[in-house]
Amino acid sequence: MFFKGEILNPLYVAVACVLSFLFVWVFYNTLILAVGVRHFRRCNRKRDELSRVDFERLPTVSVIVPVKDEEKVVGRLLDALLKLDYPPDKWEVVVVEDGSKDDTLKVCLEYAERFPCCFKLVRKPDSNGKPSALNFGLRHAVGEIVAVFDADNVPEPDTLKRAAVYFIHDPSLAAVQGRLRTINSGLNMLTKFVSLEEAVWCEAYLRGKDALKLFVYLKGSCQFIRRSFLDAIGGFDGEALSEDMDLSVRLVERGYHVRYAPDVCSWQEVPSNVKELFKQRTRWFRGTMEAALKYGRLMAKPSKRNIDAELTLLGPFVLIASLISYLLAFFTSLAAFNFDSVLEFLMQLTALGTSVALVVCGLALAYASKPRRLANLLWLPFVYFYWCFQAFIALYAATLIAFRRPKVWVKTEKTGKI
């Protein structure tokens, strides 16, 4: 196998390569996290810019809201949209009703009848997933900027204005991803942990990518895309399980630029039970892995953003490989096997890299959460358990791809609880 004295064994070489790649990947992304933590700051500059924006320069915006069986939350979103601080003649809401079986259509009809100047309700004849509903909504949208909000979102009143500032100041900008904050973080231990994960992912990881001018990807909600760029790449991929990631890769493939905007804020629900989290992450991981396989051609045109995009897409595969390496290390320790010194060094190096990443995540947790508390570091021991759970989900998603299981766009159920 790959123990002492058998250095040229193919399995030895494969394991050494995997461990080396794991260390490089962890170290690389830890640097991005560290840069993100370093760039934490208040958005006072953006607030000053907002106060000086000429209303005549604001672009027209079409907010597309795909809804299906969302009676518990859609009214809350539509109320929040009515409170948006934006010139009335420069924005519209296109609600795409996608074959709901509950009272979602009834709720949407009430708003469309009461506020016909704001809401445009369209019904899709057949339901086959969010990206298809978004494309259907695009046919009825007229804005220069297309904004997407999921039904469980609650955008802050100045969200559109703050997003518009980015497009006004950079005519070449293709898209903006706003910050997603958790509206139900206090519901239970799971929602609290997922909310902390989201805070680190947005305020450290995406912020670091933006600061380094790397691949900033869209997250499916509170996202804003210039319509001309969206049309140029053919809209959303109706077959993609992670339409946001797929869209992000196609934008970067064309050389377009996406920014992360921490001052553009919307609140959303996160899964409140393990079953819903499992379904959501299975779809995310499968969609991301399929995108990694589909867009491997990015490496044929190496650039800073293209390489970073491919490394980002490899995330679920890295989760699986790291899980296998940890299980292998555990098995060999029980069996009292002796590793070759090179493998021992690589395993120790990977463990060290993971530990450093954990410390950086802890600093991000302490700083990104508001109010900022050092007590958030107490969540660190749970990171490993959560990591193991995510790795098993990624492994399950990979088996679905390997066995060519049908792709089904499964929505995450919302509770409406705050």
**Residue 173 pLDDT:** 97
pLDDT of the chain, 418 residues: tens digit per residue: 444 445 456 766 777 777 778 778 888 988 898 888 788 754 444 455 555 666 678 999 999 999 999 999 999 999 999 999 999 999 999 999 998 999 999 999 999 999 999 999 999 988 888 999 999 999 999 999 999 999 999 999 999 999 999 999 999 999 999 999 999 988 998 898 888 888 888 888 999 999 999 999 999 999 999 999 999 999 999 999 999 999 999 999 999 999 999 999 999 999 999 999 999 999 999 999 999 999 999 988 889 999 999 999 999 998 888 777 767 666 666 655 566 666 666 666 666 666 666 666 666 666 655 566 666 666 666 777 788 889 899 999 999 999 999 988 888 888 888 7
Indicate whether this model's pTM tops 0.85. Answer: yes
Nearest 5°: the CA angle 418, 198, 326 is: 125
**Residue 380 pLDDT:** 65
**Residue 332 pLDDT:** 62
Assigned fold of 44-274: Spore Coat Polysaccharide Biosynthesis Protein SpsA; Chain A (3.90.550)
- Residue 392 CA to residue 404 CA, distance in Å, equals 18
- Residue 164 CA to residue 264 CA, distance in Å, equals 10
Nearest 5°: the CA angle 319, 214, 57 is: 130
- Residue 351 CA to residue 409 CA, distance in Å, equals 36
Nearest 5°: the CA angle 244, 208, 255 is: 50
CB 36 within 8 A of CB 364: yes
Instruction: Look at the block and give the residue holding tokens 């996160």.
Output: 270
The pair of three-digit structure tokens given for residue 410, joined into one six-digit string: 């499964």
User: What is the DSSP annotation of 60-81?
Assistant: PEEEEEEESS-TTTHHHHHHHH
- Residue 351 CA to residue 118 CA, distance in Å, equals 54
